[in-house]
Structure 1
Amino acid sequence: MINLVIMAKCLSSICAVSHVVVNGNFLQGVLAAPARRALAKEKINSLEKLSDYSEKEIMQLHGFGKNAMEKLKVYMKENHISFKNN
């Protein structure tokens, strides 16, 4: 009986961790989670909204670095979208 109680407590904590809800999936598979969260915090959820920002403005967001910016620029170029000019 005690083993069942212990097992139930362990399973409930595993289930709580594995069912985390992710807010949106904009650029999932392109950028790492910190960069995606930085965009979400600024309510940037489309390439069109992203094009309203300069490269410098995006680089100032917490979670963005050179690697994320390079990946983002490649993705934007493939989709014929660019950052606004400074």
Structure 2
Amino acid sequence: MARFLKPICTDRHEVSDNFLKGIIAMPARRALGKEKIDSLEKLADYSEKEILQLHGFGKNAVEKLKNYMKENNLSFKT
């Protein structure tokens, strides 16, 4: 049995920057990376419903994003 296995996803889905690091979990950050959402301004172009449909996002991650965006004077589109 191998001693040092690492998840396959760490090799295939690297997030190149620290966008939202410490705010939301890695699966949600990877989902944003796949959609090329790398700034709060780009994130503000999406609705909550659209973000919730991305794999890796749930209510908790969206709530964290809403709070973080509010602190930065931004919000999801309506």
TM-score range, shorter chain: 0.7 to 0.9
Which of 23, 29, 33 matches 2:26? 33
Structure 1 residue ranges, 4+ long, deviating more than 6 angstroms after superposition: none
Which amino acid in the other structure matches residue 46 of structure 1? Answer: S
Structure 2 contact 45–77 (Cα < 8 Å) conserved:
yes
> What is the deviation of 1:23?
1.5
Larger radius of gyration: 1
Any idea what SS the aligned residue of 1:73 has? Answer: helix
User: Number of aligned pairs?
Assistant: 68
Q: Which residue pairs with 2:59 in the alignment? A: 66
Where in structure 2 are there 5+ consecutive unaligned residues?
Answer: 5-10
From the superposition, tell whether residues 22 and 50 of structure 1 become closer, same or farther in structure 2 (CA, over 3 Å): closer
When the two chains are superposed, the root-mean-square deviation of aligned CA atoms in Å is 1.7
Q: Please tell me the residue identity of whatever aligns with 1:43.
A: K
- CA deviations 1:6-55 (Å, max 9, x no partner) are xxxx9xx7xxxxxx764211000101000000000000000000011011
Q: Distance in 2 between matches of 1:33 and 1:22?
A: 9
| Structure with a larger share of its residues in helix | 1
Stretches of structure 1 that go unaligned for 5 or more consecutive residues are: 1-9, 14-19
Partner residue in 2 for 1:16: none
